[in-house]
Structure 1
Amino acid sequence: MPAFALAHLRTPQINEDVLEYIDRIQSTLDPYQGRFRVHGAEVEVLEGDWPGTVVIVEFPDVERARAWYASPAYQEILPLRTRHIEGSTLIVQGVDPDYDPRRTAARLREASAG
């Protein structure tokens, strides 16, 4: 199943460190088959608050997402971003292509009934 690394960048700032980070990040993703799905897009907030922007990177699986984040290549450039931009980062597993939320609802109903 695919996995996604998400970053909520609450205080995006552009400076030379951040530009270097952006220049170098793809080479850290390539060995793990990471692909940007969202990067630098304007966020349309429909509910709640969402200061800043979001970045989403897709990986073939959770193991590769974790390996990328822990990799020496990524850890080397990470401070270029974190010194200047406040945010949160997480890894989340995606769903199978045939995922049907009705099956999830049925399982939850069964679990809460017993």
Structure 2
Amino acid sequence: MSIIFERNILYVKNRDILFDYNIEKVIETNGVFIVLLDIPTKDNTVNNIYGIANDDIIWRIQSYLKIDPHFKQTSYVHILKKEDNKIVAVDFCGCRFIVDPLNGKIIGRENSIR
């Protein structure tokens, strides 16, 4: 199924899903569309990744603060799909988090190679 979006609207089969911010990127894995929202630089919104299935938002990415309350959380700027269909979410500081695409839970961190 093709992924169509324009500005802050994701066009799915039976309805349009409207977000508060423009959509930066959408990828599909395991029947779930993973949506990364483009957060303006001066905005402090975090957890800007959503999972869409069956024409509905089924999850918003887990806050990393639930795992480590001392972590300085920033918005996500990139997503990619790994060969095992897990999602890697990269935040503004370059931290890479492994996300379960079925429920949005952070299941690990990945070291980046720069």
**Same fold, judged at TM 0.5 (above):** no
Q: Which has the higher strand share?
A: 2
Greater helix share, structure number: 1
**With CA pairs under 8 Å and 6+ residues apart, which has the higher RCO, 1 or 2?**
1
Q: TM-score range by the shorter chain?
A: under 0.3
Q: Give the structure with higher Rg (CA).
A: 1
When normalised by structure 1's length, the TM-score is 0.25
